Chains A and B, each alone.
Chain A
Amino acid sequence: DAGVIQSPRHEVTEMGQEVTLRCKPISGHDYLFWYRQTMMQGLELLVYFNNKAVMDDSGMPKDRFSAKMPNASFSTLKIQPSEPRDSAVYFCASRRQVNEKLFFGSGTQLSVL
């Protein structure tokens, strides 16, 4: 299997611009997670889905962030407008219902200037 696929690998943008991060989970995985990693805060859970439905988005700043999962094989995380404090590595991860192993994608390094 190809693993969790994220795109782009790197994104550099200017403050105020819209940013869209993309994720394709492992085929057959029921759960999809979006995490943000910074040196100061570590890995923070932003949102997670079960069978395309949002289960918990309490970690996501709702005023500028939105996450969608229109089908079982694709999810997006959108930031609009972006701010310098959004600079971080964003990871997508997925797992099966019956197996607790969480598999991570390679991450998207976001820099907001």
Chain B
Amino acid sequence: QKEVEQNSGPLSVPEGAIASLNCTYSDRGSQSFFWYRQYSGKSPELIMFIYSNGDKEDGRFTAQLNKASQYVSLLIRDSQPSDSATYLCAVNPSGTYKYIFGTGTRLKVLA
């Protein structure tokens, strides 16, 4: 079992819709969770992080964490074609400062 798992996609949504991206992790003691966006040919950039169970909102983005189910999700409201990218979930395993990344979900927002 991989430490961080994501559906590779592509996930296609129409412009203006809500895109829902999911991630599961195996280390139950993990404390910190991150969502990165990576455009083709570019480096990953951080868009959200979450530490506590529940929801965290930042503009059109909402991160959701459920530690009991070992599940993290990212919702993108009012999706735009410029949101088309690969979204990487990253986890900070317990007791370490390293980041384990999932393989990413490719999102396509159709105009």
A residues near B (Cβ < 8 Å) are 31, 33, 35, 41-43, 45, 48, 50, 55-56, 91, 95, 100-107
Please name all residues of chain B whose beta carbon is closer than 8 Å to the beta carbon of A104 when the two chains form the complex: 43-45
A102 touches B104 (CB 8 A): no
**Is B43 within 8 A of A105, CB to CB?**
yes
**Cα distance, A104 to B88, chains bound together (Å):** 13
Chain B nearest CB: distance from A28 CB in Å?
16
Number of interface residues of B (CB under 8 A): 20
Return chain A residues, CB-CB under 8 Å to B97. Answer: 31, 48, 50, 55, 95
CB pair B46–A48 under 8 Å, yes or no, is no
CA A45 to CA B101, docked complex, whole Å: 8
B101 x A43 contact (CB < 8 A): yes
Known: A48-B97, A107-B43. A100 touches B103 (CB 8 A): no
Q: Please, how many angstroms separate the alpha-carbon atoms of A33 and B100 in the complex?
A: 11
Q: Which listed residue, A50, A91, A102, touches B46 by the CB 8 Å rule?
A: A102
User: In the assembled complex, which residues on chain B have CB atoms less than 8 Å from the CB atom of A105?
Assistant: 43
> Is B98 an interface residue when CB atoms closer than 8 A count as contact?
yes
Once bound together, how far apart are the Cα atoms of A102 and B38, in whole Å?
14
Distance in angstroms between the alpha carbons of A106 and B39 in the assembled complex? 12
The reply to whether A33 and B104 form a contact with Cβ atoms under 8 Å apart is no
Give complex CA distance A33, B97 in Å.
10
* In contact, B98 and A42 (Cβ under 8 angstroms): no
Fill in one digit per residue for B50-74: 1 if any A CB lies within 8 Å of its CB, else 0: 0000000000000000000000000
